[in-house]
Amino acid sequence: MYKLLIVDDEPQILEGMKRTLDWEKYGFGSIETSETIEDAISKAVAFYPDLAIFDVCIGKDRGYDAIRRLNELGLPAKYIIMSGYSEFEYAQEAIRCGVKDYLLKPVNRTKLQQVVEKIIVEDLHGTLEGADHDDVNIDPVLGVRYDSLSKLVNRILLMVKTEYTQNITLKMVAEQFRMNGTYLGQLFLKETQMKFSEYIMAYRMLRARERILSTDEKIASIAQSVGYSNPGYFYMHFHSFFGKSPSDLRK
Q: What is the pLDDT of residues 60-112, one digit of tens each?
A: 899 999 999 999 998 989 999 998 876 777 777 888 888 998 888 888 888 88
**Element holding 135 (H helix, E strand):** none
The most confident of 14-28, 189-203, 207-221, by mean pLDDT: 189-203
Per-residue pLDDT of 116-137, as tens digits, reads 988 988 888 887 763 344 455 6
Question: What is the pLDDT, as a whole number, of residue 130?
Answer: 39
The per-residue pLDDT of the chain, averaged, comes to 88
Q: What pLDDT, on the 0 to 100 scale, is given for residue 132?
A: 42
Centre a 10 Å sphere on the Cβ of residue 98 and count the other Cβ atoms it contains. Answer: 13
Q: What is the pLDDT of residues 107-121, one digit of tens each?
A: 888 888 888 988 988
CB atoms within 10 A of CB 11: 10
Helix (H) or strand (E) holding 61: strand 61-62
Going by C-alpha positions, the residue among 31, 210, 29, 242 that lies closest to residue 114 is 210
Q: Residue 223 forms beta bridges with which residues?
A: none
- In the three-class reduction of DSSP (H, G, I as helix; E, B as strand; rest coil), residue 3 is classed as strand
- pLDDT at residue 220, rounded to an integer: 92
Quote the CA–CA distance of 27 and 34 in Å, as a whole number: 21
Q: Could you check whether 2-137 and 141-251 share the same CATH topology? A: no
Could you give the C-alpha distances from 119 to 51, 73, 78, in angstroms and in order?
A: 9, 21, 8
Q: Residue 78: phi, psi to the nearest 5?
A: -105, 145
- Mean pLDDT for the stretch of residues 197-204: 94
pLDDT for position 7: 96
Residues 6 or more apart whose Cβ sits within 8 Å of residue 78: 50, 51, 52, 100, 119, 123, 124
Residues 46-56 pLDDT 10s:
999 999 999 99
pLDDT at 176: 84
pTM: 0.54
DSSP 63: H
Domain borders along the chain are 2-137, 141-251
Fold of 141-251: Arc Repressor Mutant, subunit A (1.10.10)
Q: What are phi and psi of 240, to 5 degrees?
A: -65, -35
The helices-and-strands tally (H runs, E runs) of the chain is: 12, 7
CATH of domain 2-137: 3.40.50.2300
pLDDT mean over 214-231: 90
